[in-house]
Chain A
Amino acid sequence: MATPPLIDRRRLLLGLAPAAAAVLTGVTSCTRDTRNPSAHSPTFFSAAEWAFVNAAVARLIPAEGAGPGGIDAGVPEFIDRQMELPYGHGAYFYLKGPFLNDVPATLGYQLRYTPREIYRMGILAANAAVQKTHGKQFADLSATDQDLFAQMMERNEVQFSPVPAPVFFAQLLANTKEGYFADPLYGGNRGMTAWKWIGFPGARADFTDWLDQAGRAYPYGPVAISGARS
């Protein structure tokens, strides 16, 4: 099993640094922040996969009701970009075999797959299952049917192989919430709308003036790592 040794991955991270810096600058410019979030051209996801991710994010954190939706917050872009980072390639996980079956769930993740592979296989399995029952792709279902199918994935009521539906669903939901709440430098949480919605001041990281005012609502809005305010 070829996991990159420590030193190679560090070089990889260093190699990515200029790109990340460029993105950081991009996020702070008004033109980028106000454009249509779905205009992101995916690097990792194919067109069909991209349609799935957008449709799924739109159900996990919908636009309807109060509070920002996942699409407006740029969550699909966040997930696509994560797939291109060492994280997407599984660099944070021990992925050497042998891979055991019948391990108690309490001993944690025991599959061989990276996040990229989980998405690739999970989306394929989801669309195949929906095709079978509804004769269309997940993205083309009504919102109600999408919710029902997402629930089936979460509850293991639909059979996926080789990545079980709840594993895929958990991956998708975790990355969706990360994209909603992470600093905007990663492409999600656009305009810090998710932070404003809950009242988290982001990277402010200085509460000297509030140490002895416990119980009084903190009055200042969020700042991002880039220095952007909202």
Chain B
Amino acid sequence: MAERKRPVDAVIIGYGWTGAIMAKTLTDAGLSVVALERGPARDTSPDFEYPRIADELKYGVRGDLWQPLADETVTIRHGIQDTAAPYRKYGSFILGNGVGGAGTHWNGQLWRASPEDLRLRTHIEQRYGKKFIPADMTIQDYPVSFEELEPHFDHFEKVCGVSGIAGNLRGQIRPGGNPFEGSRSDEFPTPPLPPIHVARLFEKATAELGYKSFPVPSANSSIAYTNPYGVRLGPCNLCGFCERFGCFLYSKASPQTTILPILADRQNLEVRTNAYVTKILLDRTRKVATGVTYIDESGVEVEQPATLVILSAFQMHNVRLLLLSGIGRPYDPATGEGLVGKNYAYQMCSVTGAFFSEDVEINPFIGAGSAGQRVIDEFNSDHFDHAQSGFIGGSLIYAGGTGGRPIEQMMLPPDAPHWGSGWKLAIRKHYRHSAPIGSLGSVMSYRDRYLSLDPTYKDAHGLPLLRITFDWHDNEYRMVAHSAAKMDEIVRVMKPEKQVTLVMRSGNHYDTRVYQTTHTTGGAIIGSNPTNSVINRYSQSWEVPNLFIYGASSFPQNIGYNPTGLLAALAYFSAAKIRDTYLKSPGALVPV
């Protein structure tokens, strides 16, 4: 029999970015709130302190801040007829864990979606005709527009002290920024850091080719900055221990460095760590959530009753918890019916290694998750005419370099020896004089790509793991070939001695062994009505109106941008509606 806690107004599942945003919103409104986080408590001090944080083996390779896969992982298969195998070791993506979630060890690339990304199906049909969308491609519009989200993108950028240059300020295209972005109501809160050397070479090369490069919008603050909540961030020093690490300088925006400090003393908020939620509880009608069950750190099962349930775990965990709780109908790829698990998507990346001569000093160890980087947006979203190219979507192309950490990031030409004295010579020759140029591209959603519970494999508590069914489709092979060709052309102008492009080609299967991106999306998608989505425009469950679901699980298909800006904007958009309408009169915010 589970221990039963005193009822509270709201329970929050997962204390990362969207959990922190909702904890602030709900405690501001005077609600009593309990936040449940599956991982440990973590803060800048003591967890990310210098010099101990500058430990590549511990954090970059072993992944001490990541979700321990031994207890819970996912299973993966390529096709609906295959048997899924467990993701036993980290590779393709990294799952967050602990207070702050993946928001502590992300890169800080804080993008908005393009306006057309949010009405993708309508936009594509209008511009290219209905037949342009393949029959098995299940993309759909967001039920909310860029213009509606704009104030929330803007607010989140200010919360994070994002550095960058506006390219479209109140409709005026401005030099130095992204000319393809939707209209901004305000400039970025902090200016960009100077480009790292590879980014400088990229700026020159792209300018020569007529492209407009600009600083990656970066939640690595460039100056001392106070956010709208009164929390201070410090300037980034390009330390090189950023993504996969917690920031010791209070420069990288994370829940800890932007929102949590103002919540620390709130009497109406209790944060319980090492609390592993196993189920969202429903009443007999199955239309009202009554709280959650979790296993606490001593292994005791606890019931936490609540009037409002906020599901704000990582994308995959949101979907798994819905399935484990029996909320909504699981998606069935055979019939196309059911919605929970539908439209899982990923991103398609490629990289060009540029190997320069020894007089080009790249200083690869000078870098950050996003500060100092430069990017172009010409070949993303629908910023170019897709009629001839025959695919939907696109990629960012960027000059990165996040720290040149030698175990993870040593880049050698494919013909260099892997070991032996020849390897020693190769690492000396190339380490200081090579750099990656990358593309990060969209992936559409398809009828046969989805999430479900695995029939065989279990977590440490005996609950089924989440199963991913995913592989690439032709649209994405064509998309990445297009992006990689542009990238290759740019790198050629940068004049390395040698350049090598790694790109997935038709017939290459999704490879889970190699890190690509943690931007997994879908499975609890947002939409205009209960027949096409799990949540409405306010991130409210259609089936259970006192349940709100946040995170990239809501994306109907993936975009060619990092997802945090969009998922945070959707959360703030929802938070405003909850504050202004729902709390006064709880119930369905969109009539069915």
The minimal Cβ–Cβ distance linking A71 to chain B, given in whole angstroms, is: 13
CA distance A90 to B88 in the complex (A): 10
Q: Which residue of chain A has its CB nearest to the CB of B87?
A: A108
CA distance A203 to B457 in the complex (A): 40
Tell me if B62 and A92 are in contact (CB < 8 A).
Answer: yes
**A117 part of interface (Cβ distance < 8 Å):** no
Interface residues of A in 159-213 (CB under 8 A from B): 173, 176-178, 181-183, 185-186, 194-195, 197-208, 210-212
**B2 part of interface (Cβ distance < 8 Å):** no
Tell me if B407 and A181 are in contact (CB < 8 A).
Answer: yes
With A108-B512, A182-B57, A214-B200 known as contacts, the answer to whether A206 contacts B239 (CB < 8 A) is: yes
**A33 part of interface (Cβ distance < 8 Å):** no
CA distance A100 to B83 in the complex (A): 9
Interface residues of A in 105-155 (CB under 8 A from B): 105-110, 147, 150, 154
One of A35-43, A45-53, A62-70 at the interface: A62-70
Q: Which residue of chain A has its CB nearest to the CB of B509?
A: A106
Q: Which residue of chain B has its CB nearest to the CB of A63?
A: B421
Tell me if B86 and A225 are in contact (CB < 8 A).
Answer: no
Tell me if A181 and B56 are in contact (CB < 8 A).
Answer: yes
CB-defined A-B contacts under 8 Å, sample of 27? A3-B70, A7-B298, A9-B68, A9-B70, A59-B420, A61-B419, A61-B420, A65-B425, A87-B62, A94-B72, A94-B73, A94-B88, A96-B86, A100-B83, A110-B85, A147-B420, A150-B419, A181-B56, A181-B406, A182-B407, A183-B54, A186-B57, A205-B241, A210-B366, A214-B197, A215-B197, A215-B360
Instruction: Tally chain A residues at the interface, Cβ within 8 Å.
Output: 69
CA distance A205 to B52 in the complex (A): 11
* Residues of the A chain whose Cβ atoms lie less than 8 Å from the Cβ of B87: 94, 108
Tell me if A225 and B54 are in contact (CB < 8 A).
Answer: yes
* Residues of the B chain whose Cβ atoms lie less than 8 Å from the Cβ of A210: 238, 363, 366
* Residues of the A chain whose Cβ atoms lie less than 8 Å from the Cβ of B237: 205-208, 211
Tell me if A195 and B406 are in contact (CB < 8 A).
Answer: yes
The size class of the interface chain B forms with chain A is 35 or more
**A95 part of interface (Cβ distance < 8 Å):** yes
Interface residues of A in 2-61 (CB under 8 A from B): 3-7, 9-10, 59-61
**A158 part of interface (Cβ distance < 8 Å):** no
Partner of A197, one of B86, B194, B427: B427
* Residues of the B chain whose Cβ atoms lie less than 8 Å from the Cβ of A60: 419-420
Contact with A along B437-458 (1 / 0, CB 8 A): 0000000000000000000111
Tell me if B407 and A178 are in contact (CB < 8 A).
Answer: yes
Tell me if A107 and B428 are in contact (CB < 8 A).
Answer: no
Tell me if A110 and B88 are in contact (CB < 8 A).
Answer: yes
* Residues of the A chain whose Cβ atoms lie less than 8 Å from the Cβ of B297: 7
* Residues of the B chain whose Cβ atoms lie less than 8 Å from the Cβ of A212: 194
Contact with A along B226-267 (1 / 0, CB 8 A): 000000000101111100000010000000000000000000
Partner of B238, one of A61, A186, A207: A207
**B577 part of interface (Cβ distance < 8 Å):** no
Q: Which residue of chain B has its CB nearest to the CB of A194?
A: B406
* Best-surrounded residue of B55, B68, B297, B431 (most CB of chain A within 10 A): B68
Contact with A along B388-431 (1 / 0, CB 8 A): 00000000000000001011001000000011110111011001
CA distance A201 to B237 in the complex (A): 14
CA distance A206 to B249 in the complex (A): 10
Tell me if A205 and B68 are in contact (CB < 8 A).
Answer: no
Q: Which residue of chain A has its CB nearest to the CB of B77?
A: A107
Interface SS of A by simple majority:
loop
Tell me if B457 and A106 are in contact (CB < 8 A).
Answer: no
The minimal Cβ–Cβ distance linking B168 to chain A, given in whole angstroms, is: 27
CA distance A110 to B427 in the complex (A): 31
Interface residues of B in 489-525 (CB under 8 A from A): 509-513
Interface residues of B in 194-236 (CB under 8 A from A): 194-197, 199-200, 235
Tell me if A61 and B423 are in contact (CB < 8 A).
Answer: yes
Tell me if B70 and A65 are in contact (CB < 8 A).
Answer: no
CA distance A92 to B73 in the complex (A): 11
Tell me if A62 and B70 are in contact (CB < 8 A).
Answer: no
The interface of chain A, by Cβ under 8 A from chain B, is 3-7, 9-10, 59-62, 64-67, 87, 90-96, 98, 100, 103-110, 147, 150, 154, 173, 176-178, 181-183, 185-186, 194-195, 197-208, 210-212, 214-218, 225, 227
With A3-B71, A98-B456 known as contacts, the answer to whether A215 contacts B54 (CB < 8 A) is: no
Q: Which 5 A-B pairs have the closest CB atoms?
A: A65-B421, A203-B54, A214-B197, A205-B239, A67-B424
Q: Which residue of chain B has its CB nearest to the CB of A69?
A: B424
Known contacts A5-B71, A92-B62, A106-B512; 17 additional CB pairs below 8 A are A7-B274, A9-B70, A59-B419, A60-B419, A61-B424, A94-B73, A96-B86, A106-B513, A177-B407, A178-B407, A198-B431, A200-B365, A201-B365, A204-B54, A207-B366, A208-B237, A216-B361
Partner of A211, one of B52, B238, B428: B238
* Residues of the B chain whose Cβ atoms lie less than 8 Å from the Cβ of A208: 235, 237
**B89 part of interface (Cβ distance < 8 Å):** yes
Q: Which residue of chain A has its CB nearest to the CB of B512?
A: A108
With A207-B237, A210-B363 known as contacts, the answer to whether A93 contacts B69 (CB < 8 A) is: yes
CA distance A59 to B419 in the complex (A): 8
**B299 part of interface (Cβ distance < 8 Å):** yes
* Residues of the B chain whose Cβ atoms lie less than 8 Å from the Cβ of A103: 85
Tell me if B509 and A104 are in contact (CB < 8 A).
Answer: yes
Contact with A along B133-161 (1 / 0, CB 8 A): 00000000000000000000000000000
CA distance A214 to B297 in the complex (A): 48
Tell me if A62 and B421 are in contact (CB < 8 A).
Answer: yes
Partner of B89, one of A62, A64, A109: A109
Tell me if B432 and A199 are in contact (CB < 8 A).
Answer: yes
Tell me if B57 and A211 are in contact (CB < 8 A).
Answer: no
Tell me if B366 and A5 are in contact (CB < 8 A).
Answer: no
Partner of B432, one of A92, A150, A198, A207: A198
